[in-house]
Amino acid sequence: MSVYLDHAATTPMVPEAARVLADQLFRTGNPSSLHASGRAARRVVEESRERTAAALGARPSEVVWTAGGTEADNLAVKGLFWSRRAQDPSRRRILVSAAEHHAVLDPAFWMAEHAGAELVLLPVDADGVLVVDALRRELEAHGDQAALISVMWANNEVGALQPLDDVVALARRFGVPVHADAVQAVGQVPVDFAASGLDALTVSAHKLGGPGGVGALLARRGLDLTPVLHGGGQERGVRSGTLDAPLIASFGVAADLAVTGRAEHAARVGALRDDLVARVLAAVPGAVLRGPADTARRLPANAHFTFAGCEGDSLLYLLDSAGVEASTGSACQAGVPRPSHVLLAMGVDEDVARGALRFSLGRTSTAADVEALLTVLPGVVERARAAGLAGRGTAVPV
């Protein structure tokens, strides 16, 4: 039986959300239809909208359903840029942190290549935390040209919590809307949309115990967004497409449970994470924890390491063959493994960045999972280093 330590990629559905999904799948009705079945489906959608909004500190009217976090991020980046540029053609600069998820970075780069945007990558420090002074300097120099700012709530690779209070305060001085991808944060740290002062926030169901294929963009009331999808005019005319009532109902249950159980969950997985980190650092020579060492400044379920002299893919495959599932956090483009852009933005040497592993915990994680990892990890790292040395033509003792 495998040990699953990749909850940041996706986490098992909670039973309550699975039951709701299964029940709703047997019901028929398009939420846009006016007959009885359609009205019943619409009621499910709106009750789930209210439930999700309450869990995240938003008004129901601020919840825009999407097919997941990536769509919500695209709607935020593209929709905000196009609406702002329509109001003021001089506002062409998109400001994002260099350590954003590709669901934010890639649409931002696309806008720069195809839509006349000017992309500004804001630096992060050695912990993966946005350098606020760099944002301040950018806004003081070009604030009247800024269309939007996007800074994630918590980094998906190294778990670093971002200084969103400072970002929002600066943005307000220059009238710039702020979006945050909070996909990793909900259920681990307190997330309150109204209290945050954000203009838009992304959340995804499968990261918090709900199903895949459904997410939401929280967009404050009065925020202008140009639609990315056109069709039936659903969701305030911002996101066309037939709403999936079963997925939305399951999402609402999962979001509610993730938020109400957050404190207990965070304390439990945080203790497991602390044990994992201490034991990895003690057992594996050359292991380096990435992200903030201060546990108050990182996600409680995240432990990210680099292992010098190793290739992340080798580590991943060796662990997998030993029954432990984790993640490298790096991208593979055209069949060529590439080091994580997050680690490179943090100033980590490229060769070192190639040897990255992320262990992320969830509701089903146990002390036995940590024990199983530590049983095999030292040998896995030793074998990966030997393979790396052999690949570089260095003699390896037999």
Tell me which residues are annotated as active site.
332
Q: Which of 79, 73, 351 is nearest to 217 (CA)?
A: 73
Name the strand (E) or helix (H) holding 255.
helix 245-260
- What are the φ and ψ backbone dihedral angles of 33, each rounded to 5 degrees? -80, 150
* In contact, 43 and 284? CB cutoff 8 Å: no
* In contact, 336 and 325? CB cutoff 8 Å: no
DSSP 160: B
3-class DSSP assignment, residue 132 = helix
Residue 378 one-letter amino acid: P
- Distances 99 to 8, 80, 156 between C-alpha atoms, Å: 16, 20, 9
Tokens representing 165? 């209070």
Q: Which long-range contacts (CB under 8 A, 24 or more apart) does 107-111 make?
A: 107/73, 107/74, 107/77, 107/78, 108/77, 108/150, 111/77, 111/78, 111/81
3-class DSSP assignment, residue 356 = strand
The Cα 195–Cα 193 span in angstroms is 6
167 φ/ψ sector (left φ>0, alpha ψ -120 to 50, else beta): alpha
B/e letters for 214-249, b = 16+ CB within 10 Å, e = fewer, are bbbbbbbeebebebbbeeeebbeebbebebbbbbbb
